[in-house]
Each structure stands twice: as C-alpha cells, then as structure tokens.
Amino acid sequence: MLRLRSSVDAERAGHFGDLLRELEGVRRVVKHADEASAANCVVFVADVEPAAADRLVEAILELEIGPDDYVLTKVDVVAPLRRGLGPGNDGREGFAWVEVIGQARANSRPLARYLALINVAAVIAALGVITNSSILIVGAMAVSPDLLPICATCVGIVAGRRRLAARAFYTLTLGLGLVIFTAAVLSAVLKWTGALPDGFRVEESSLSTLAHTDYSTVLIALAAGVAAMLSFETRASAAVGVAISVTTIPASAYLGVGLGAGGADESLGALVVLAINVSLLIVSGSLTLLIQRWLPNRSRAPV
C-alpha cells in the first residue's frame, strides 16, 4: 500500500479533496490545517492502492501541485493480510508504475557506494579466479550491486525515457569496466610481486568455462533478467542479486585476470559472454516489465 501526504493552498483544497474522495483506489482521506505553513495551506493524507498511484500522480500534475508539496511513500501493511483496499479486489495488488520509475531514478547514477561495492566484488572475484575458488566467486556475486543499474536500464527503455536508460546503462558499463580494471591491476601486482607462480595462465583455471558460450548461457541470462525485474519491485533484490551477478561478475573478473596476469587472448571469450549476458538481461527484464505495466492487476495468492 502507498500513502500520500500533500500540502495544498486553501483555494484549491476543496477541489483536491473532492478529487481524492472520488478517485477509485484512494481511501481514508484525512484533511487538516498545515500549522507550519504561513501560506494558509491544507494537508491531505490518504491511503492509495498501487494500481491507483499513476492516476493520482497525473491528477496532481494537472492541478499544478509542485513536487515539493506532495510525497508518495510505500507502507508495509501488518494487518489485515489482504492488501487490496477496494471492494471486490479479491486480494489482487495493482502495479505502481510511478514507484518503479522512482526506484530506477535512484539507482541509475554511479554513486560512491555503488562504485565501492563493485570494487570490492572485483577484488573477491579476481582472487576467486586466481585460486580456483568457487566460494569466492559466489561471495563476489553477493557483494555486487549490478542488479540495480540493469533494472534501471530496463525501466528507462520501457518508459521511453532515453536519458534515464542511457544514464543507467552508463552506470552499469562503468561498474563492469571497473571490475575488469581492478581485477587486471590486482592480478598484475600479484604477478609482479611473485605471489603468482611463473607461467600462470588464466585458461588453466578450472573456471575457464567463463570464457565459453553455449545454450545454457542464453537460457540463464534470460531467466535472470526476469528474476531481476521482479525482485527490483520488492525487497528481494539483495538475495536475487546473487543470481543476477552470475551472468556478469565472474566473466568480468576472468577477463581482468587474463589481461593482468597472462592469457589475454584466451580470456577475450569472456568479453563475448559478458556482452551476450548483459544484452539478454536487458531484453528479458524489459519484456517482463512491459507485460507488468500493461496488466491492470497482478494476481496474488490468498493467504
């Protein structure tokens, strides 16, 4: 469920209140004076079904209510368990497109935390490739935040917002490029200091399959894209991010180790794997979101 808090000047308060009460999917409208405002404003608070969020935002924009005068937040409902607010909803929960757009905007920029986490993932994954440790590879996938810009790119594509899609894809590309660069530098330093044995070649690693493609590469990437978009809308993104990163972080680290420690020619296949995976992730994620956007409601199993 979503909750609206808005501040409207007294002249438009009556019209806005009528709009909230008449709009299907908006319930429990509360009105009170804004005592902190010197402009004689009125504050409205209302519960909003996700399916009604887009119509509500459109109505707010038509009334020329500024972005600083309203906020739409997500509320975790403890009880009752049936999430739908409207009569005859049968437990179905609508799709809040405006909420997905907000998340995409927030995750489309290369913030410092994103760059730090992707760097940590690069170090762990590079050591996993060097030591043939699948446990370290899984650890790197758990740390990596690349799920977020992937999903933000899909949102930008489906919404037709080129700047958002381009910004998110740039963030994704920057992150994966940083993984390759960090893995290359780390492996080169280890080779220079003698920590790596003479004649180390990345293709001799048991993880050399990361540089080869087959039918499973395509199927895994397509399935991961669906899971990525579904988890992006929930709080499951942290857990699902591990599955998504299996298509990106290992191949990036493998390529970086090959460039830095030996076996660059053989590791270039990982670049092809990475390009295929990213492309298919975006395609399947965009299709998943497109289907959800045009469905009026998503089924929800009764509890």
What's the pLDDT tens digit per position in 247-285?
Answer: 899 999 999 999 988 777 778 888 999 999 999 999 999
Do residue 89 and residue 106 come from a single domain?
Answer: no
What's the pLDDT tens digit per position in 210-242?
Answer: 778 888 889 989 998 898 888 886 655 555 666
Do residue 90 and residue 110 come from a single domain?
Answer: no
Q: Which residues contact 191 (CB under 8 A, 6 or more apart)?
A: 200, 260, 261, 262
Give dist(CA 221, CA 164) in Å, integer: 23
Going by pLDDT thresholds of 50, 70 and 90, the confidence category of residue 171 is very high
Going by pLDDT thresholds of 50, 70 and 90, the confidence category of residue 116 is very high
Count of domains forming the chain? 2
Do residue 225 and residue 281 come from a single domain?
Answer: yes
**Do the domain assignments include residue 151?**
yes
Do residue 126 and residue 233 come from a single domain?
Answer: yes
What's the pLDDT tens digit per position in 57-101?
Answer: 888 888 888 888 888 888 777 666 555 444 444 444 555 677 788
The pLDDT assigned to 53 comes to 84
Domain span at residue 111?
A: 102-294
* DSSP-assigned letter for residue 197: P
Do residue 123 and residue 269 come from a single domain?
Answer: yes
The pLDDT assigned to 81 comes to 54
Give dist(CA 282, CA 232) in Å, integer: 13
Distance separating the N- and C-terminal Cα atoms of the chain: 17
Which three-class secondary structure state does DSSP give residue 38? Answer: coil
**Do the domain assignments include residue 303?**
no
What's the pLDDT tens digit per position in 180-208?
Answer: 999 999 999 999 998 887 778 888 777 77
The residue among 94, 119, 135 that closes a domain is 94
